[in-house]
């Protein structure tokens, strides 16, 4: 990046999100739970409304006007999403319910065909349960072994150890692109390069990265990239699997049913081409079209401007929280390789109590193990408070968070 991206117009952006203009417990809502789910701009809500009010129809078979329009918009959404992550072809984007379904699709359709007894799959100690449990299930089915790349106390992957973990039976690397607990951004391009040198494909869990930083699947050269729509301003129940065309051509479908076949005989069938082969049954048409509108919204703001805005807020939050007595921020302490997911603990106050006290101030955060129990064990904490940022958050909201945490600590200290 040469010139810094233009600053985003926060006032205009906030006005695009109706949910933000409300009071919670008689305080202005401060929404800092974006790693769990993001809010929805009017542009996406309007797109869903227009779909249901004017052209709700099933796709790919109707001979009528509504169906033709729904089909066109659904496929246009696929092109938008493909463009957003710079896929070479739109048909390399398979719509799924979200990241979890995308990872499970690969574990089933690809994993069952390529992973055998005695094989290895490399994961890291950072993973969310959705990029962990599907591989445990695959390993159990096929008699394979999961091996975990170690991380530093800040959550950085040990690349040297990683490079040494490849063996003749290593079949896949499945790794997060950004930790949903520590915010640490993994060196995905380097991870893929090392795997490629060993002839091993890579799946990236990009649920936390796609919404917040430019993800170019061709530049990363990843084989599989999974992400969710609802974390990138889209509706729930829609997400995508990007996979290289050659893999998708070779893989068997996961779901048999309507739309995914070419011909069906009594005892066997042949599959439709890409991407229909992997989208059996009526898909989430409205959701996909809504996701298309969501990525358009992010692109109009500019993903680099989003990253820069969040980096500034993250630096501010790291500085303010670290300044508080008894507050410990986990993960990297600057934004060189971290995004706006900030986990912390408060001495003498359990994360759930911090969460409840912040909620009383109108501040929404998450507290708990964040669906990453092995990582929490590694970090030696049972739970953390997690504040996570997005493009519509303001410096003032970061200040409110720090003040709320200080008040929570004082409340417990006083009693």
Partner 1 sequence: MSIDDLYRDVIMDHYKRPRRKGELANANVVIEGFNPLCGDEVKLWLRIDDQGVVQDAAFTGHGCSISQASTSIMTAAAVGASVDDLRGVIDGFRAMMLQGAEPDETLLGDGVALEGVRKFPVRIKCAVLSWNTLQLGLDEHTARGGQVELRHSED
Question: Residues in the site for partner 1, rule: CB under 8 A?
Answer: 25, 349-353, 356-357, 360, 367-369, 373, 376, 382-383, 411-412, 415
Please, are residues 129 and 278 in contact by the beta-carbon 8 Å criterion? no
Catalytic residue list contains 21: no
Of 260 and 346, the one with the shorter C-beta distance to partner 1 is: 346
Please, are residues 85 and 239 in contact by the beta-carbon 8 Å criterion? no
For residue 410, what are the contacts with CB-CB under 8 A and spacing of at least 6? Answer: none
Of 100 and 170, the one with the shorter C-beta distance to partner 1 is: 100
Of 23 and 415, the one with the shorter C-beta distance to partner 1 is: 415
Q: Least distance to partner 1 from the beta carbon of 361, Å? A: 9
Q: Least distance to partner 1 from the beta carbon of 347, Å? A: 13
Structure tokens at 369: 């193990």
Of 157 and 405, the one with the shorter C-beta distance to partner 1 is: 405
Q: Which of 10, 15, 45, 371 is catalytic?
A: 371
Q: Least distance to partner 1 from the beta carbon of 236, Å? A: 20
Range list of H helices, 165-302: 188-197, 217-220, 245-250, 285-301
Structure tokens at 302: 């500019």
Q: Least distance to partner 1 from the beta carbon of 357, Å? A: 7
Q: Least distance to partner 1 from the beta carbon of 100, Å? A: 18
C-alpha distances (whole Å) from 181 to each of 128, 150, 367, 383 are 8, 16, 10, 10
Which residue has tokens 């699997």? 241
Of 148 and 411, the one with the shorter C-beta distance to partner 1 is: 411
Beta pairing, strands 30-31 & 170-176: unpaired
Sign of the Cα pseudo-torsion (253, 257, 261, 267, in order): positive
Please name the helix (run of DSSP H) or strand (run of DSSP E) that holds residue 172, with its range, or none.
Answer: strand 170-176
Task: Indicate which residues carry an active-site annotation.
Answer: 371
């Amino acid at each position: 990046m040469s010139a810094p991206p233009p600053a985003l117009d926060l006032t205009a952006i906030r006005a695009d999100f109706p949910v933000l203009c409300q009071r919670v417990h008689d305080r202005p809502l401060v929404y800092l739970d974006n790693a769990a789910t993001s809010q929805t701009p009017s542009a996406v809500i309007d797109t869903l409304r227009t779909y249901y009010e004017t052209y709700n129809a099933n796709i790919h078979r109707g001979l009528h006007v509504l169906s033709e329009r729904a089909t066109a918009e659904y496929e246009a959404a696929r092109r938008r999403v493909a463009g957003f992550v710079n896929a070479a072809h739109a048909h390399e984007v398979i719509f799924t319910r979200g990241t979890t379904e995308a990872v499970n699709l690969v574990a089933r359709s690809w994993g069952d065909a390529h992973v055998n007894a005695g094989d290895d799959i490399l994961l890291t100690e950072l993973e969310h349960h959705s990029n962990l449990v599907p591989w445990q299930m695959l390993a159990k089915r096929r008699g394979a072994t999961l091996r975990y790349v170690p991380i530093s106390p800040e959550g950085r992957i040990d690349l040297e150890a990683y490079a040494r973990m490849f063996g003749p039976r290593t079949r896949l690397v499945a790794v997060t692109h950004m930790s949903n607990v520590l915010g640490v951004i993994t060196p995905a391009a380097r991870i893929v390069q090392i795997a490629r040198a060993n002839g091993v494909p890579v799946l990236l869990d990009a649920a936390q990265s796609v919404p917040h930083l430019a993800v170019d699947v061709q530049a990363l050269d990843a084989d599989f990239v999974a992400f969710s729509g609802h974390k990138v301003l889209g509706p729930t129940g829609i997400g995508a699997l990007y996979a290289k065309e050659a893999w998708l051509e070779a893989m068997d479908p996961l779901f048999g049913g309507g739309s995914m076949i070419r011909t069906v005989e009594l005892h066997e069938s042949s599959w439709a081409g890409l991407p229909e082969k992997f989208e059996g049954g009526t898909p989430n048409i409205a959701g996909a079209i809504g996701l298309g509108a969501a990525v358009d919204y992010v692109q109009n703001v500019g993903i680099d401007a989003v990253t820069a805005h969040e980096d500034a807020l993250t630096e501010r939050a790291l500085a303010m929280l670290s300044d508080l007595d008894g507050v410990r921020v986990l993960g990297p302490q600057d934004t060189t390789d971290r995004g706006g997911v900030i986990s912390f603990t408060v001495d003498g106050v359990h994360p759930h109590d911090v969460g409840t006290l912040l909620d009383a101030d109108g501040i929404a955060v998450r507290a708990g193990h964040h669906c990453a129990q092995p990582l929490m064990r590694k970090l030696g904490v049972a739970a953390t408070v997690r504040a996570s940022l997005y493009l519509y958050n303001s410096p003032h909201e970061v200040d409110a968070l720090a003040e709320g945490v200080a008040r929570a600590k004082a409340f417990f200290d006083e009693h």
